[in-house]
Amino acid sequence: MHIQTVIGMILLGLLGPIWSPEQSLVVGRTLSGTKSTRAREVRSLLSGLGVNWNSKPQVEKNKIVKQEVISKEYHGRLDSDDISVWKASVAGFGEVWLKYQNSPRYLNAEIRAYQEIEKIEGNPIGPEFKAIVIDENGRRVGFLIELLDGVSKPTKDDKDNCVETLKAFHKTGLIHSDVNLGNFLIKDRSLVKDRSCYIIDFQYAHRPIDPEAFGQEIIKFENNIDAA
């Protein structure tokens, strides 16, 4: 096995959220290619490290009042938060959605995606990112986004709006990697005159090696919504 491939595998183990499992083999092969190709791919791999969003406030977990659970996944004790989304109330922010994420790698991937989304002007791709949530030790454990009341899953009538939102997200250089309909939310049309689709759950977002991955993701979403 080439030493470059071994290095690539080590990097992939550290940077799980940047690449999907299917791409791991591709990355391993690519990193064993030419020197210029290896350098380009390693730069892409490292682009998500050290997420440092100092412009966003931090909120202590014990100062958040959880009101009702929106969704929850259990990966351990039933009384743990693990991966969960809550409607919550926070002083200074009012009512918000709170997302806990027990994986630092996936949490950083999601924060990084919101960070890139903010650079796309005039495109309401996802809900507004409010703050990073920390525990009593100062460790990041989640984040706050704007309250999403009155939202629903998309129907076939929402296909064009959702595709446009997904294309806008692709301008960040990332693909979402989980384009099931549950990750697309349609806002209350009586309150919104422009694009009414939001995308959420960016924990698997990453920069693809193959530029065709963007178009392939759009086709995959279109197939999902056509089959609904």
pTM of the model: 0.75
pLDDT recorded at residue 22 = 36
Indicate the SS3 state at residue 225. Answer: helix
Residue 151, in any domain of the structure: no
Q: Is the pLDDT of residue 121 over 90?
A: no
Q: Considering 85, 119, 146, which residue would you say is the last residue of a domain?
A: 146
Q: What are phi and psi of 111, to 5 degrees?
A: -60, -40
Within this chain, do residues 94 and 161 fall inside the same structural domain, yes or no? no
Q: What confidence category does residue 187 fall into, taking pLDDT thresholds of 50, 70 and 90?
A: confident
CATH assignment at residue 79: 3.30.200.20
pLDDT recorded at residue 138 = 93
Q: Is the pLDDT of residue 174 over 70?
A: yes
Q: Considering 101, 121, 146, which residue would you say is the last residue of a domain?
A: 146
What are 68's strand-pairing partners? 87
Q: What confidence category does residue 26 fall into, taking pLDDT thresholds of 50, 70 and 90?
A: very low
Q: Determine the average pLDDT of the residues in 95-122.
A: 92
pLDDT recorded at residue 9 = 46
Q: What confidence category does residue 80 fall into, taking pLDDT thresholds of 50, 70 and 90?
A: low
Query: Which residue range is the domain that position 219 belongs to?
Result: 156-226
CATH assignment at residue 201: 1.10.510.10
- Token pair for 142: 């989640």
Alpha helix segments (H runs only) across 19-135: 21-31, 35-46, 104-117
pLDDT recorded at residue 143 = 97
Within this chain, do residues 62 and 142 fall inside the same structural domain, yes or no? yes
Between the two ends of the chain, the Cα-to-Cα distance in Å is 44
Within this chain, do residues 167 and 207 fall inside the same structural domain, yes or no? yes
Within this chain, do residues 33 and 71 fall inside the same structural domain, yes or no? no
Question: How many domains does the structure of the chain reveal?
Answer: 3
Question: How far is the C-alpha of 8 from the C-alpha of 2, rounded, in Å?
Answer: 10
Q: Which residues have C-beta within 8 Å of that of residue 108, sequence separation ≥ 6?
A: 17, 48, 51, 140
Q: What confidence category does residue 195 fall into, taking pLDDT thresholds of 50, 70 and 90?
A: low
Question: How far is the C-alpha of 121 from the C-alpha of 130, rounded, in Å?
Answer: 17
Within this chain, do residues 142 and 162 fall inside the same structural domain, yes or no? no
Q: Which residues have C-beta within 8 Å of that of residue 124, sequence separation ≥ 6?
A: 165, 194, 195, 198
Within this chain, do residues 15 and 86 fall inside the same structural domain, yes or no? no
Q: Determine the average pLDDT of the residues in 96-102.
A: 93
